[in-house]
Amino acid sequence: MDRKTPVIRLEDVDILLDTRYIKVADLRYAPGKHYYDVSRRAKEELLAVKGDEQFASVLPDAVTCFVIIRTEGMPERLLLSYEYRYPLGRFMLSPPAGLIDEEDRGAEEPLIRTALREIKEETGLTVKDTDRVFTVSPMVISSPGFSDESNALVCAVVDTDDLGCLDQSGAVGGELFDGFYLPDVREARELILAGKDPKGNPYPLQTWAALMYFMSGLWKERLE
């Protein structure tokens, strides 16, 4: 069956809920047809109304960080932490992550700048000029059937002999943390196969992505 691809224009959008942190948009994709989008974005910035060229170049809402720790004489490890997720009511094993601030958007490398700030705030770890930081993906969509929320994926490969700097006291706003977990490649594989964290809880998709990227060794190709 030949079906015409819907085109959603700005005038086809009504904002049903508009708060400081979240919005619900009604996307009228055909007469009498509605789809609902949960978003952080203002009406004119919704991804649904972007043309192909705009969509390809738009900045995501946030950055998720794959932090890989290298310490001499020890196996490489992935830096994860237990962060309280309010919609789930519990601490979930997660990589460092955070929203792109307005001041980041005007930076030369907004994704990298956001990643460096979030890593420092959530882990206490300072990424040095001699460490490697690079973008794995400029934008992945979290749940396109429900929301247009998106994340960039940024990897930081950090060389350090002192993990005593790891600290979660830099949490801001409603952020709550409950310790770190640093799996090596073998432990990362076990977590992927188990589908649950060491406490028996499922983990976010971003955690799965971080574990897979770390275990695959693809990050090493970026260092060559």
User: Which domains does the chain possess?
Assistant: 10-57 (no CATH), 62-221 (3.90.79.10)
- Helices (runs of H) and strands (runs of E) counted in the chain: 6, 11
Q: Average pLDDT for consecutive 10-residue bins of the chain (224 residues)? A: 79 96 95 95 96 94 98 96 96 97 91 97 95 98 94 97 89 91 98 97 97 97 92
Q: Dihedral of CA 96/102/105/106: which sign? A: negative
Predicted local confidence at residue 116, as pLDDT: 97
| Best CA proximity match to 80, nearest among 173, 172, 199, 193 | 199
Predicted local confidence at residue 1, as pLDDT: 41
Predicted local confidence at residue 171, as pLDDT: 84
| Best CA proximity match to 70, nearest among 220, 178, 171 | 220
Which whole-number Å values give the CA distances from 40 to 22, 77, 99, 122, 142, in the listed order?
5, 33, 10, 22, 13
Predicted local confidence at residue 2, as pLDDT: 54
Residue 194: CB atoms within 10 A of its CB come to 12
Predicted local confidence at residue 173, as pLDDT: 85
pTM score, two decimals?
0.94
